[in-house]
Structure 1
Amino acid sequence: MRVLLVGDYPPPHGGVAVHVQQLHDSLREHGVESVVLDIGKGGRPAPGVISVRTPAWYARRLAGFIREGWTVHVHTSGNNPKSWVLAATGALRGPGSARVITLHSGLLPDYLAASLSRRVFARLVLLGYSHVVAVSEAVRAALVRCGVPGEKILVYPAFCGSQVRPGAVTPAIQAARERRQVLLAMAHHPSPVYGRGLMFRALRQLADARPGVGLAVFGPGTHSEEFQRDAREHGVESLLENLGELAHPEALALIARCDAFIRPTTHDGDAISVREALALGVPCVASDVCARPEGATTFRAGSAEDLARRVLHALEAGPARVVSPDAGPVLMKLYGELTQSTSVGGELHAAQ
């Protein structure tokens, strides 16, 4: 069995990229021949990872893997035109090559609902895939409304619980932990979807209720002028532990050391970071903009007061015991079935 994963690969450590990395590692650990075509920014060299150079180069390499009969698994958000162009390239037909796509974004339903042409194009593209993996029921429902047959859609979180392995605690993380009686953590991104302003408002309230509280923020944009301005305007500068962009094992080390992990997003898919916190035994408070995994505490989206209240409740209650899903074995079984069916199909075609 040979599997080609097409998608972003860290760095940066976004949700899709982290899942591709974890799935790639899981497959290789189980003896599956796995290669990643990294369509992102191209990070540090890693075994079995090929950084895409140009669109033409990508097309040639993809065509080569298809001709050789590799199972192709595309990973993309599904919430913008570029994402669907990528999906279309992975749907190109080839003898003996099965196709799978995972659509990751919680913004996908709104994106498709906004335009009939988008829904038509999505349906046509997904005809080229044997199976579509949706990370939530909301994503599945949106695809069914486009005309994608429900029987070809598998709903499963983009998460490999067996791959959640924190790295070493860095001096910066250790110092942040020692400075705060209560340390919260939040993954940051400049996009307003990540809810920075809401978190800062809630943090100001939490500081009044729990002296000694601090918020560790990590991710892109934490050293920007806009970030610093928002921190000043909300009066939370002294409450922040700004750790910048962390390698994923370092981010997991931080989450494992904090008292609660916060996900204050305005839109979401199946957030890997939420599941990682729960897998590490850390209380997690997340907005109710989508279905959250069992064990997470949800707050009313957009309400800083409810967020602060739920954080206090989660701190008092402590972590919930959860069983983390693992997409690795599920997808390996799917790949095996597809490999077998395409092999049989190829033999019948040759016999004719």
Structure 2
Amino acid sequence: MKIVIVGPLPPPIGGISVHIRRLSRLLQRQGMECIVYNESGHRGDSLNVVPMLSYRRFLLQIPFIQGDLIHFHTIDKRLRLLLGVYRLLGKKIMLTVHGESLAQQLKESSPLMRRMLLRSLKSLNGIVCVNPATTQMLLDQGFHSDRVKTIPAYIHPEDCEEDARAIPAEVHAFLDGRGFVISANGFIRQLPEGDAYGVNLLIEVMRELKSRGLAVRCLFAVLGSAGQSAEERLYYEQLRNRVRGYGLDDSFSWYEAEQTELYPILKKSHLFIRPTITDGYGVSIAEALRFQIPAVASNVCRRPEGTVLFNSGNVGELTDKVLDIMNRYRSYKEETAKLKPVDYGPDLIEWYRRIVKDIPEESQVIPHVNG
């Protein structure tokens, strides 16, 4: 079986790019042929990666791409509109919807564009939604239940020493220092509703914890720093100035990640926080729990089992949750150790096999979404 994957690969590091890298490696370990058309535009050191230098050129290439199934991870609405055309050409097409991108596109589209987008997507062989709310939205729009499935994007990382060595020495030194270590990650991005990844909340939490005389430090892994827009760079500097203004320079560290994995940082942390104001699942949460690190996250979507939730945007509640974990850390660690986060890679591969062999699906939602 030959699977063609279309989407980004690191760098930059991000939830979708990490998912695709792990998925391609999993396919190869299982003896399947896999080609990745990389939206990030580079080949790296992998022979199975084709750099996508131009969307227009790639759109013309698709009819000639050979494979049993083409699996798109793109969030580009123009490409999603065209997927139905490629189905008419006899291609087996699958799409993964990460986050809230599709819901936002349907909301912002004109009535005609909305109908065209839905018609294109309804013709696909399969749609994977990382969030069950998106699955339900599509079912409510009349999609066939055997073509829509909820599969979170989490795939277990390969634990290897090379990933730890790739992280700069100064980051390891910060993590190895004295006190309670909190880690978080995300992009520097503002939405109309506020800070997308809740960095502002983290800073306020750290200010409160330090005001109580607690020995605590926070490392925020910044994703996509090289590609920040002018507005994002300005906001990034404002956040850094806030940290300096609060006197948190020694206890709040910024790590601009490029190609490094998050899990070596998680393994050296006491707590992981995911304070996003919108999300699809939170792959990094499952990763933290896999390494028996307690995790706190906003309640904006279904989270992995064992996540400590707080009301999105409520800095006081988030602070209280963190304090409770710090005060009863042994108990939280014992509970986290009992959890077994699900690796969803095998579920995805099983659906590949069903689509390629035209085996009907029995259910649109995998029963162990929070298994």
Structure 2 counterpart of 1:335: 352
Q: CA deviation at 1:298?
A: 0.8
8 Å Cα contact 1:184/1:258 also seen in 2: yes
Structure 2 counterpart of 1:85: 78
Residue 277 (1) aligns with residue 294 (2): no
Q: CA deviation at 1:107?
A: 5.1
Once residues 307 and 344 of structure 2 are traced to their aligned partners in structure 1, the CA distance between those partners, rounded to angstroms, is 19
Q: CA deviation at 1:45?
A: 3.2
Q: Deviations over 1:85-135 (max 9, x none)?
A: 222344412665321111011354354345563542331121231111111
Report 1:174-213 matches (<5 A): 174-191=172-189, 192-209=195-212, 211-213=214-216
- The answer for unaligned runs of 5 or more in structure 1 is 78-82, 343-352
Report 1:126-275 matches (<5 A): 126-161=121-156, 163=158, 167-169=163-165, 170=167, 171-191=169-189, 192-209=195-212, 211-220=214-223, 221=225, 224-249=236-261, 251-275=262-286
Once residues 314 and 76 of structure 1 are traced to their aligned partners in structure 2, the CA distance between those partners, rounded to angstroms, is 38
- Following TM superposition, the consecutive aligned residue runs of length 4 or more in structure 1 with deviations greater than 6 angstroms are none
Q: Deviations over 1:36-67 (max 9, x none)?
A: 001124362323111111223312432221xx
Structure 1 counterpart of 2:94: 100
Aligned partner letter, 2:64: G
Once residues 260 and 320 of structure 2 are traced to their aligned partners in structure 1, the CA distance between those partners, rounded to angstroms, is 29
Aligned partner letter, 2:253: E
Residue 62 (1) aligns with residue 62 (2): yes
Mark the CA change 1:58 to 1:164 in structure 2 (over 3 Å): closer, same or farther: farther
Once residues 235 and 147 of structure 1 are traced to their aligned partners in structure 2, the CA distance between those partners, rounded to angstroms, is 54
- TM-score in terms of structure 2 length: 0.82
8 Å Cα contact 1:105/1:269 also seen in 2: yes
Q: CA deviation at 1:232?
A: 3.0
Aligned partner letter, 2:309: T
8 Å Cα contact 1:164/1:279 also seen in 2: no
8 Å Cα contact 1:13/1:247 also seen in 2: yes
Once residues 331 and 272 of structure 1 are traced to their aligned partners in structure 2, the CA distance between those partners, rounded to angstroms, is 15
Once residues 158 and 123 of structure 2 are traced to their aligned partners in structure 1, the CA distance between those partners, rounded to angstroms, is 30
Aligned partner letter, 1:8: P
What secondary structure does 1:40 align onto?
A: coil
Aligned partner letter, 1:31: G
Aligned partner letter, 2:214: P
Once residues 51 and 146 of structure 1 are traced to their aligned partners in structure 2, the CA distance between those partners, rounded to angstroms, is 35
Aligned partner letter, 1:177: L
8 Å Cα contact 2:200/2:239 also seen in 1: no
Structure 2 counterpart of 1:345: none
Q: CA deviation at 1:199?
A: 1.2
What secondary structure does 2:250 align onto?
A: helix
What secondary structure does 2:273 align onto?
A: strand
Mark the CA change 1:291 to 1:310 in structure 2 (over 3 Å): closer, same or farther: same
Aligned partner letter, 2:255: L
Structure 1 counterpart of 2:362: none
Calculate the aligned-residue CA RMSD, in Å: 2.4
Mark the CA change 1:94 to 1:49 in structure 2 (over 3 Å): closer, same or farther: farther
8 Å Cα contact 1:28/1:34 also seen in 2: yes
Once residues 200 and 183 of structure 1 are traced to their aligned partners in structure 2, the CA distance between those partners, rounded to angstroms, is 14
- The answer for unaligned runs of 5 or more in structure 2 is 190-194, 227-232, 360-371
Once residues 16 and 106 of structure 1 are traced to their aligned partners in structure 2, the CA distance between those partners, rounded to angstroms, is 13
Once residues 183 and 106 of structure 2 are traced to their aligned partners in structure 1, the CA distance between those partners, rounded to angstroms, is 32
Once residues 107 and 60 of structure 1 are traced to their aligned partners in structure 2, the CA distance between those partners, rounded to angstroms, is 24
Mark the CA change 1:113 to 1:96 in structure 2 (over 3 Å): closer, same or farther: closer
Q: CA deviation at 1:164?
A: 5.9
Report the count of equivalent residues. Answer: 334
Aligned partner letter, 1:245: A
8 Å Cα contact 1:8/1:38 also seen in 2: yes
8 Å Cα contact 1:106/1:270 also seen in 2: no
Percentage identity across paired residues of the two chains: 24
Mark the CA change 1:64 to 1:161 in structure 2 (over 3 Å): closer, same or farther: same
Structure 1 counterpart of 2:364: none
